[in-house]
Amino acid sequence: MVRRKIIQIDEAKCDGCGLCVPSCAEGAIQVVDGKARLVSDVYCDGLGACLGQCPRNAITMEDREAEAFDERAAHRHVESLKAGQQPRPHGGCPGIVVQNLLHGLSKPSPGAPAGRSAEPSASALGNWPLQLHLVPPHAPFLREADLLLAADCVPFAYADFHRRFLRDKPVVIGCPKLDDGRAYVEKLAAILRQSSIRSLTVVHMEVPCCTGLVRIAETAIALAGADVPIEDVTISIRGEILAAIGR
C-alpha cells in the first residue's frame, strides 16, 4: 500500500449514467448495481482523466492509502473488456455484465430467416445489457452496428417486435418521459463517437411524450458530430406501425 492520489466516487450523487466509463483508458470505472464504481485501486493511475465527465459532479480526487497502480494489470483488464469478457467485481451485479448473445452461434441454413434461429418463437435479442444508462459506449456488440433505440413500451405493444425490428441489431432502451433525457443524449453521443454506428432506428409509441426519443437521437447525433441516418418508426397503442420515416 502507498499513499497516492486516487479517484473517489460519491454514490449518493451518481445516477449510473456511465459517462465516466469511456474516459478511463485503464477501465478502472465500471457501472455496478446502477452506480459507477472504482473496480480496483490497481487500475486507477490517479491522473484524473475522468474528472469533469460526470454531470452530477460525483467524481473527485482524494489522497489516501491505496494499492499502487499496475500498468500491466490495467492493460490486461482493458483487453478483457474489449474482448467482451468483462469481469464482474466482487459483489457486483451479474445483470450488467456485457454479453454478446449472438457470439459464436452458427449461421442459419439457406432459406431460413436471419438471426438466432428459424424458430418463429425464438428470441432475436443479441446483446446485454439493454438499458441505455447501463450500456458502455465501447461494448463489442456496438462496433459498426445498425443500432436500434426503442422506447420501453414498444415491445409490449408491437407483437412482431423481434422479427421486424430486433433481429440482427443491438438494442438500447429507455423512457424519454421518466428518465434523464440529457444523460441519454450524452450516453448516445458517446456510443456514436466510439463505436462508429452505421445507422439508427428509433422506435417509439404514438403518445406525444414518447416522441422525445427522436429528439434525443437527433441531439446526440449533432453532439457527436456524426453522419448517421435515422429511421423514425411510430407504433400505435393498439400495436400497429403508424409511420416509418427516414431522416
Tell me the CATH number at 214: 3.40.50
Is the predicted pLDDT of residue 208 greater than 80, yes or no? Answer: yes
- Among residues 39, 95, 110, 42, which one has the least CA distance to residue 70? 42
Least confident residue range of 11-15, 188-192, 204-208? 11-15
Name the pLDDT band for 45 (thresholds 50, 70, 90).
very high
Q: Would you state the pLDDT for residue 110?
A: 43
With a pLDDT cut of 90, the percent of the chain lying above it is: 58
In a domain? residue 136 = yes
CA distance 126 to 91: 26
Q: Which residue has the higher pLDDT, 90 or 139?
A: 139
Q: Would you state the pLDDT for residue 113?
A: 45
Q: Which three cell numbers stand for residue 70?
A: 499496475
* Overall average pLDDT of the 123-139 stretch: 89
- Among residues 213, 56, 83, which one has the least CA distance to residue 138? 83
Residues 130 and 182 in one domain: yes
CA distance 126 to 230: 21
Q: Would you state the pLDDT for residue 212?
A: 96
Is the predicted pLDDT of residue 75 greater than 70, yes or no? Answer: yes
Name the pLDDT band for 209 (thresholds 50, 70, 90).
very high
Q: Would you state the pLDDT for residue 114?
A: 46
In a domain? residue 44 = yes
Residues 183 and 74 in one domain: no
In a domain? residue 112 = no
State the chain's mean pLDDT as an integer: 85
Residues 173 and 209 in one domain: yes
CA distance 187 to 113: 32
In a domain? residue 110 = no
Is the predicted pLDDT of residue 190 greater than 60, yes or no? Answer: yes
* Overall average pLDDT of the 58-67 stretch: 93
Residues 156 and 89 in one domain: no
Residues 92 and 135 in one domain: no
In a domain? residue 133 = yes
In a domain? residue 117 = no
Residue 20's Cα: distance from chain center in Å?
12
Is the predicted pLDDT of residue 231 greater than 90, yes or no? Answer: yes
In a domain? residue 115 = no
Name the pLDDT band for 16 (thresholds 50, 70, 90).
confident
In a domain? residue 79 = yes
SS (H, E, C) the chain: CEEEEEEEECCCCCCCCCCCCCCCCCCCEEEECCEEEECCHHHCCCCCCCCCCCCCCCEEEEEEEECCCCHHHHHHHHHHHHCCCCCCCCCCCHHHCCEECCCCCCCCCCCCCCCCCCCCCCCCCCEECCECCCCCCCCHHHCCCEEEEEECCHHHHCCCHHHHHHCCCCEEEECCCCCCHHHHHHHHHHHHHHHCCCEEEEEEECCHHHHHHHHHHHHHHHHHCCCCCEEEEEECCCCCEEEEEEC
Residues 152 and 209 in one domain: yes
Residues 41 and 135 in one domain: no
For 104, residues 6+ apart whose C-beta sits below 8 A from its C-beta are none
Tell me which residue range forms the domain holding 148. Answer: 99-103+122-246
* Overall average pLDDT of the 133-146 stretch: 88
Residues 127 and 237 in one domain: yes
Residues 235 and 164 in one domain: yes
Number of domains comprising the chain: 2
CA distance 27 to 2: 21
